[in-house]
Amino acid sequence: MEHSDHVNLLRRGIPQTGGVWADFGSGTGAFTLALAELIQPIGMIISIDRDGSALQAQEKQMSARFPEVDVRYLKANYAHPIDLPPLDGIIAANTLHFLLDKEAVLNLFFAYLKPTGRMILVEYNIDRGNYAVPYPLPYPVWERLSKAAGFAVTQLLATRPSSFLREIYSALSIK
């Protein structure tokens, strides 16, 4: 996927510039860069990943493409509690499919959000896992999980064909 694809998967879930957002499981930053474009310099991003070298690579890309955006890089396992400021939004792109126990992490995410906070999920819309997506999270399952975690509203934002696994989708859940 191209940068514009990442932006388009997030765009409808981010109604305005600014805010404090976290990208959980950000890797080398494809969706962090898209988020930077959408929230612009008046926002702040906390980019969280367990892989310090991925965060370093991401920081180089961010400095080159969006030097004016305030980004904090945090090497951490997001499956455990992290000390974060109250968040306006969360991005979880292609990361929850690595977790068998998604409910515990969703409870953490929900607690990090401000009262009207938003979570944007990006996942493959498949039912059966494989080596790269061991615990898939198709949209109908996400609807149930997000409701169980306490989100008041969940809606499908966008879908896109995937050359890797059929289809990728983005969904917005609002606290």
In a domain, 160, yes or no: no
Measure the CA–CA gap between 175 and 118, rounded to whole angstroms: 6
Query: Where residue 36 sits, what CATH number does that domain have?
Result: 3.40.50.150
Phi, psi torsion values for 11, nearest 5 degrees: -45, -50
pLDDT of residue 163: 72
Measure the CA–CA gap between 103 and 3, rounded to whole angstroms: 30
In a domain, 126, yes or no: no
- Predicted TM-score (pTM) of the model is 0.96
Residue-wise pLDDT tens digits, 58-103: 999 999 999 999 999 999 999 999 999 999 999 999 999 989 899 9
Q: Are 49 and 75 within 8 A, CB to CB?
A: yes
In a domain, 161, yes or no: no
In a domain, 6, yes or no: yes
- What residues contact 49, with CB distance under 8 A and at least 6 apart? 25, 26, 27, 55, 58, 74, 75, 76
In a domain, 97, yes or no: no
Element (H, E) at 72: strand 70-75
- The structure tokens listed for 170 are 């983005």
State which residues form the domain around 25. 1-84+111-119
Q: What is the mean predicted confidence (pLDDT) over 108-114?
A: 98
Residue-wise pLDDT tens digits, 115-166: 999 999 999 998 887 878 888 899 999 999 999 999 999 999 999 887 777 8
Domain count, the chain: 1
In a domain, 70, yes or no: yes
- The structure tokens listed for 6 are 């990442």
